[in-house]
Each structure stands twice: as structure tokens, then as C-alpha cells.
Amino acid sequence: MLNNEAILVLGAGELGMAVLRNLARHARHASGVSIAVLLRPSAMGSDDPAKRKELGELRELGIEFVEGDLTRQSCADLATTFRRFDTVVSCTGFVGGPGVQLKIAQAALEAGIKRFFPWQFGVDYDLIGRGSAQDLFDEQLDVRDLLRAQTLTEWVIVSTGMFTSFLFEPSFGVVELATHTVNALGSLDNAVTVTTAEDIGVVTAEIVFGEPRVSNQVLHIAGDTVTYREVADTLERALGVRLERHVWTVPELKRLLAEAPDDTLRKYRVVFAQGRGVAWDKARTFNAQKGVPLCGIDGWVRDNLPRLRAAFPAP
């Protein structure tokens, strides 16, 4: 069990909140463990009711608020903030734009923290390689190279696949309930690994507090690994209706990306359609080996059935 450790989480979005809740749960049974979250001043002073509710929840969990701005602050300034912590867990996503993930990693190393969890909660960037349709992925490889080239700070990368909710996001275009269609990326038999944000929080906290200590490893977890055909089948069973199945081929998706080269979602569709580094065997994952049950596609659809039905018009 982890003891006498100061932990800083960067960000309190969907994933950050899940990580913070689960870290706080573990910390209740540990000695001398403190948890803090880095928030922008605008977030700390937000008038949004949902954000105010989340901030209240974090206060009740005993989590300290640390003011900072990952986008605007320099590497040196961030290192100063990080320096009083032992472990930093980055839950920021790509919203900061190019260069931010590398700056965070550099600041973590400059601060000399004991252990760093970079924002790599997604696909297997090593397998995808450089030069993919999603140019931000190259920076993720830069972060990995930086961490692997040093020995002072331990690092842990948690590859989770796609957030489960994102697979069903209307803007992503795979599941179009309004048109009774599932659009397979590349092929109906292409697979994708998905994990809910809540489950990522559960497993990340298990890793942070777990013994034997995990360090300098890329771990794969999975709520589920499914083909697009299985996604359509699951929705049909749950909704009791027939869905059309359409395939967006790689050449077609590349053509659409060429028409709008800055479109982030089109970049993602090409990467997932190519099918490399976006799916792995559930049986070989860290959570399977540790016996940690996670939410699969069936469970997610069941839990979200009212919302899915509301989005599904009558034939």
C-alpha cells in the first residue's frame, strides 16, 4: 500500500474526476497520502452549476485545489508547481493543442518527481507509429521517447483504447441512431478497444496504489474489444430494431480528410479505420490479469438505454 505520498492530478474533466474519486477512495486506507488537483483559475471561479457541484464534491473528498494553466504557463513554472509532489497524473486530453503534452512531460522531469502518468489514455501509439493521419499522435511518441531516455522519474502509460462514450458520440459518426445506421471504420470486422472513463479511473488508482509497484511500463486495459459488426448487433438486441450497416473504407475516409485536413474527427476516423494499434485482446490486459471487472459494450448500452432510445426515431 502506498503511504506518505503527495499526488497531483492535472485536470478535472470526465477522466480527471473519475481518477480523483478513486484515488480519494484508496487514500482513506493509506497513511500520509494527500491528493491535489491542478485547475485553471477560470474553472475554480466558474459559475456553471455542474462545475460548482464537482468542485464541492472534490472539497468533500479532501482534495486540495492548486491553481495553474497548462497551456499558458512555461515549463519552468509548471516544474515549480510539480516539485512538491511525488506522483503526477495527467488527465488533460488534447484540448491544450500541440506542444502541451511534451511541455508537461518536460516539466515533470525537470521537477524530479518520483512517478509520472502522462496523458496517454488512448490507443497504442507505438504500434500506430509516426506520420499517422492524427498528427497529435506524433507528439505522444515524443513524450514516450523523452520518458524512456531517462531514469530519474518512473513513468507509467495506461493504454485504454477509445473512451466508450466516444464510440457512440453522434459527432464521431460511427453510431447514427437518427438514420438507423452503424458506420464501420474500414470494415465491419475491424475491432476497437473501448473503456469507460470511470473504469479508467478505477484501474489508474489501482496502479498508483498497487503493490508490487508498477514503473516504466506501458499497460493495456480494456472494458471491451469489439468489432463494428458486434456494436451493431448489440444495439439491435438492446433497441429491438434493425440497423443498417455501412462501411467507410480507408480510401474514402482519406479522401474526406483531404477535403478538410484540419478536421480532428476525420483524422481519428482514418486512424481507427486502418485498424493498427487501436484494439487488443481483453484476456491479456492488466485488468484481466488482476481480476478487475470493467464495463463492456453490453453493460454500457444497458446503462445508457434511455438516452439511446431517445435518440432513436420511430421507423
Contact 24, 37 (CB under 8 A): no
> Residue 179 has what DSSP assignment?
G
- Say whether pTM exceeds 0.85: yes
Q: What pLDDT is stored for residue 48 in this prediction?
A: 82
Q: What is the mean pLDDT of residues 121-135?
A: 96
Q: Return the ∠ at Cα 111 (arms to 109 and 112), rounded to 5°.
A: 65
pLDDT at 97: 83
The total number of structural domains in the chain stands at: 1
Q: Say if 252 falls within a structural domain.
A: no
Query: What's the pLDDT at 179?
Result: 92
Q: Determine, yes or no, domain membership for 315.
A: no
Residue 21: predicted pLDDT: 97
CATH number at 141 reads 3.40.50.720
> What average pLDDT does this structure show over 267-293?
96
Domain span holding position 128: 6-163+196-223+277-294
Q: What is the pLDDT of residue 94?
A: 80
Cα–Cα distances in Å, from 110 out to 7, 29, 150, 155, 214? 17, 31, 11, 14, 21
247 domain residue, yes or no? no
Report the 10 Å Cβ neighbour count for 30: 15
**What are the cell numbers at 43?**
474553472
H or E element that contains 288: helix 286-290
Residues 6+ apart with CB under 8 A from 157: 117, 118, 120, 144, 217, 218, 219
Average pLDDT over every residue of 151-160? 98
d(CA 275, CA 128): 9
Q: Concatenate the DSSP letters of all residues of 98-156 into one string.
A: TTHHHHHHHHHHHHT-SEEE-S--SS-HHHH-TT-SSTHHHHHHHHHHHHHT-SSSEEE
- Residue 183's φ and ψ, nearest 5 degrees, are -100, 105
Q: What is the mean pLDDT of residues 16-40?
A: 94
Q: 185 versus 41: which is more confidently predicted?
A: 185
Quick: pLDDT tens for 217-251: 999 999 999 999 999 999 999 999 999 999 999 99
Tell me if 154 is assigned to some domain. yes
Q: Is residue 205 part of a domain?
A: yes
- DSSP code, position 2: -
The dihedral through the CA atoms of 228, 234, 236, 239 has a sign that is negative
Element (H or E) spanning 104, and its range?
helix 100-111
158 within some domain: yes
Instruction: Determine which of 53-57, 105-109, 155-159, 197-201 has the lowest per-residue pLDDT on average.
Output: 53-57
Reported as a single tens digit per residue, the pLDDT across 64-114 is 999 999 999 999 999 999 999 999 999 998 877 889 999 999 999 999 999
Q: Is 189 part of any domain? A: no
Would you say 105 and 147 are in contact if contact means Cβ atoms under 8 Å apart? yes
**Do the domain assignments include residue 51?**
yes
